[in-house]
Structure 1
Amino acid sequence: MSEPLLAVSGLTKRFHRSGTIVTAAEDISLSISPAETLALAGPSGSGKSTIARLILRLIEPDAGRVDFGGENFLALRGSALRARRARLQMVFQDPLAALNPRATVARVLDDPLRIHALVSRSERPSRIAALLQRVGLSSDLADRYLHEISGGQRQRVAIARAIATKPSLIVLDEAVSALDVSVRSQILELLLDLQRTERIAYLFVSHDLGVVRAFAHRVVLLEGGRITEQGDARAVIDNPQSAIGKALVAAVPRLTTTIQERS
């Protein structure tokens, strides 16, 4: 078996709130292979987003190890960390909250190209146009402000920004949950196409088990910051063994496939 792209072991994080210790992640261990989608699913407050942010080092863990590309990601500092971050990107639920809503689309896409010195200044406009085309948008949008375009277009811009650095792994934190059904399906198809052509791996954070079943290869179910069950996404969702898994499935009136299921 090939070495995983991401290997997490013993990841733990506790927060102190009003004199109380809250366990957000407890002894989390998981792995993701190249071009694989692993979903983190669970009820609100189960630790999904916290685990994603720990892996990205947006917050630091109390204990545990994160290996990315065969390297101890938690040990990196300075320029070595910045260089590695180019290969690990994130798409949030709300691009207006995650990005500057008063920036133009061109500025949003220019930033990673400039920060990581990926292309020369003169080459950036053509690279921006190519990125927009890759996510199904017209280059005419480059001069529009982020707050002027639709939610679906904004999420495509966020994806274009994420792929600008040619990442190996993208964390999708409820990235399609705010979109209507038809737009959500289109975005998921785009993500699948990017995965097929660029071999990008995804860590897919979602509460929607129907989408998880259709989109992810494997799933990790969480409750109270702990893993309760993990395995093949279809097998786990079709026949959950844990109490929280059964409760999550029971709460969904009918699991439907929103995109073409993987063969």
Structure 2
Amino acid sequence: MSALLQVEGLSKRYWRGDRDFSALDGISFSIAPGETLALVGPSGSGKSTVARILLRLVEPDAGSIRFNGEELLGLRGAALRATRTKLQMVFQDPLAAFNPRATVARLIDDPLRIHGIVGRADRPKAIAALLERVGLAAELASRRVHEISGGQRQRVAIARALATRPALIVLDEALSALDVLVRGDILNLLAELQRDEGVAYLFISHDLGAVRAVAHRIAIMDSGRIVEEGDAAAVIAAPASATGRALVAATPELPVFPRLPVFKETVS
């Protein structure tokens, strides 16, 4: 099966005072359609830098990113905007990422309007359908972001990401601010959406319990490099890298979350 996302040799350096440091040092990975790859590692390992580069919020110093067969880093203007409909992101804290005084309807309306997905007359119905798709009542549309719970906000963020019918959603520590019961609910939702919509995920997290439930494969990062990659359950059960062993040792009692269906590649 052809990769949906193919990252090759991605590098990024930053300056801190009069010294520079490597945030990413030639990393490579791929994600197939409908697959979940978890990117894990200690703080400062480069995970969020990967997410920002994929969304073209930061430009890399070197490397290639092919998405849906196109070189993402070569896209500009209208071509980049069109590609962004298929590549969406869910942030760690929607309250910080969005205007907290905006209504839920406004948040979901924006991608529908900006990308011309649904006409003005049909947008209220589309917003209601998206809210219901993520397990929220349509009546929530009139509420402001700061008036709803953290779990509801994250579901709204997922509904907004789904509005453009993406092929890949990047989830950057999207569950870390939620309590364990809400995390289980969101993991169930992600599994359901993947099963029904065929969406792929890049799941960035330090929560190995959630990773074990949601990921088909795992890539462990340290100091801007991928130091281990493989089947998620196998890597967590017996990590081969020192970083992997340290991460597992720091989480001695992994919570039990529902497991995503096994990903199977099909011959195209």
TM range (shorter): over 0.9
Q: Partner residue of 1:28? A: 27
In structure 2, C-alpha distance between the alignment counterparts of 1:126 and 1:210, rounded to whole Å:
36
Q: Partner residue of 1:164? A: 163
Q: Partner residue of 1:13? A: 12
SS across alignment from 1:102 = coil
Matched, 1:82 2:99: no
TM-score, normalised with respect to structure 2: 0.96
Structure 1 residues 135-214: aligned runs within 5 Å: 135-214=134-213
Q: Partner residue of 1:113? A: 112
Are the aligned partners of 2:104 and 2:144 in contact in 1 as well (CA < 8 Å)?
A: yes
Amino acid at match of 2:119: S
CA drift of 1:261 comes to 5.2
Amino acid at match of 2:155: R
Are the aligned partners of 2:215 and 2:260 in contact in 1 as well (CA < 8 Å)?
A: no
Are the aligned partners of 2:187 and 2:210 in contact in 1 as well (CA < 8 Å)?
A: no
SS across alignment from 1:107 = helix
Are the aligned partners of 2:9 and 2:25 in contact in 1 as well (CA < 8 Å)?
A: yes
TM-score, normalised with respect to structure 1: 0.98
Segments of structure 1 that go 5 or more residues without pairing to the other structure are none
In structure 2, C-alpha distance between the alignment counterparts of 1:163 and 1:244, rounded to whole Å:
34
Structure 1 residues 184-263: aligned runs within 5 Å: 184-260=183-259, 262-263=261-262
CA drift of 1:255 comes to 1.9
SS across alignment from 1:170 = strand
Q: Size of the alignment, in residue pairs?
A: 262
Are the aligned partners of 2:210 and 2:257 in contact in 1 as well (CA < 8 Å)?
A: yes
Are the aligned partners of 1:214 and 1:262 in contact in 2 as well (CA < 8 Å)?
A: no
Which piece of structure 1 moves more, 18-27 or 249-258? Answer: 249-258
CA drift of 1:80 comes to 0.5
CA drift of 1:52 comes to 1.3
In structure 1, C-alpha distance between the alignment counterparts of 2:169 and 2:213, rounded to whole Å:
18
In structure 2, C-alpha distance between the alignment counterparts of 1:170 and 1:212, rounded to whole Å:
15
Are the aligned partners of 2:215 and 2:232 in contact in 1 as well (CA < 8 Å)?
A: yes
Superposed CA RMSD in Å reads 0.8
Q: Partner residue of 1:58? A: 57
CA drift of 1:210 comes to 1.6
SS across alignment from 1:235 = helix
CA drift of 1:262 comes to 3.6
